[in-house]
Amino acid sequence: MRAETFDTVILGAGAAGMMCAIHAAARGGRVLLVDHARAPGEKIRISGGGRCNFTNLGSGPRNFLSRNPHFAKSALGRYTQHDFIALVEKHRIAYHEKTLGQLFCDNSAKDIIAMLLDEMDRAGCELRLKTTLEGIERVDGGFAVTLGGEGAARVRCRQFVVACGGKSIPKMGATGLGYQIAERFGLAVTETRAGLVPLTFGEDMLAGFSEIAGVAADVRVSCGKATFDEALLFTHRGLSGPAILQISSYWREKQPIRIAFLPREDVAAALLASKRENGRRSIANALAEILPKRLAAYLSQAHGWSGTMGGASDRKLAEIAATVQGWEVCPIGSEGYRTAEVTLGGVDTDGLNSRTMEAKAVDGLYFIGEVVDVTGWLGGYNFQWAWSSGWAAGTAI
Ligand code: FDA
């Protein structure tokens, strides 16, 4: 096996690893970026429905979950969404704002990968694919790294950067190896769980949901103190859509979630007006004038709202409105890492320097991107964390 020396070895050629490689190499260091996959940036390629929601205009620390909500401030504040947008513009990649500040490529997510590869090339970083990490030891204040696969080698380096992501979508190569490396070097890892993921329900609810699978509605969804106004989608497996993915990151087992349909409207007033206008209309039909028809029928059946509007007291209509705008449901679980967009939790930020992402107790060992206990909302925030944390480590090395 060949023996080689680099200044920095980065494990994981995803969003964070590539960003870090660019900046570490630009500073003149010899940088090796390794990945067990066949291609770099596979999650970038499939993200945002193939158009990559690469950042969010409104990105700020409040859009992230972490045991220490202050940790991400430094990196996010020093390499912002505007810095990344400037890079995208430098490469003449056309983009647009879809909704809520979310920026997507006009053409393809592959434009972002090509941009990062081009920057890596200019900076002079070496990329080795189909290469695995077989071992890592602390030696002489640096690291002795054993690589297997196509890039097999014994490598000495001063810095080792863990950028191999979380556990979400194992089919795409997620391994959770980053957490093992952290623990092996004595860093704490907070509890990990699937985030930005559809929620599942018991048989009793599922039968009804299946009947209206495919129905979408704008809702306000809440769990504890977290609230999101976005679209909800009924599926054969439970509830999905951006609103549910967002709230899933805050939901804990056995907690109910609260769904308000028509969150910005006065549903009680609308029902009273409908009763005055035509008392012979059924409650389900009256609801169908303000909600998708199948959803109105489902809610009416599930809550036993039969009869006509004229036959319902004003108080009853107020109760119906309160349920439409405060429907409590209890998920039994989530679809898990199989479909989760991110992993919540990860390398405990207490053990990391927030300016550099270096482990406080192990000189030269860095953790960036999703492997760290910093998780963004849906909407381009997770890539922003990958760019910002990758930049923070890359410029510190
Ligand atoms: P990432 O997972 O990107 O990269 C890790 C790399 O390490 C991979 O290349 C992997 O092959 C490699 N690796 C893993 N284990 C290894 C091992 N044992 N040995 C060697 N290499 C190993 N976010 C967002 O902001 N906007 C969006 O539009 C989307 N869309 C989206 C869609 C889908 C379907 C998913 C699953 C996720 C998203 N995300 C997203 C989330 C986003 O993809 C995620 O937060 C970032 O990719 C995290 O970047 P990292 O570089 O940390 O990990």
pLDDT score at 143: 98
pLDDT score at 245: 98
pLDDT score at 172: 87
pLDDT score at 307: 94
Nearest CA to ligand 1 atom 52: 369
pLDDT score at 173: 86
Element (H, E) at 259: strand 257-261
- Average confidence (pLDDT) over 272-288: 97
- Average confidence (pLDDT) over 22-49: 97
pLDDT score at 287: 98
> In angstroms, how far is the first alpha carbon of the chain from the final one?
27
- Average confidence (pLDDT) over 346-366: 98
The closest-lying atom of ligand 1 relative to the alpha carbon of residue 389 is: 52
| Residues framing ligand 1 (Cβ under 6 A) | 11-17, 35-37, 42-43, 46-48, 52-53, 132-133, 163-165, 168-169, 173-175, 177, 341-342, 369-370, 380-383, 386
- Average confidence (pLDDT) over 27-47: 97
Q: How far is CA 177 from CA 32, 85, 140, 368, in A?
A: 18, 31, 24, 13
Pocket test for ligand 1, best of 9, 10, 43 (most atoms within 8 A of CB): 43
Long-range contacts of 244-248 (CB under 8 A, 24+ apart): 244/198, 244/199, 245/196, 245/197, 245/198, 245/341, 245/378, 246/196, 246/221, 246/377, 246/378, 247/199, 247/221, 247/222, 247/223, 248/194, 248/195, 248/196, 248/197, 248/198, 248/199, 248/334
Question: Are 237 and 203 within 8 A, CB to CB?
Answer: no
Chain mean position to CA 71: 18
Alpha helical stretches, state H, the chain: 15-26, 42-46, 73-78, 81-90, 110-123, 177-184, 203-211, 242-248, 267-277, 283-288, 293-303, 314-324, 381-396
Q: How far apart are CA 262 and CA 271, in angstroms?
A: 13
Confidence of residue 1 (pLDDT cuts 50, 70, 90): confident
pLDDT score at 167: 96
Model pLDDT for residues 304-325, shown as the tens digit of each residue: 999 999 999 999 999 999 999 9
Which ipTM score applies to this complex? 0.99
Pocket test for ligand 1, best of 18, 38, 46, 47 (most atoms within 8 A of CB): 47
Mean pLDDT of the chain: 97
Model pLDDT for residues 170-219, shown as the tens digit of each residue: 988 899 999 999 999 999 999 999 999 999 999 989 988 989 999 999 99
pTM of the full structure: 0.97
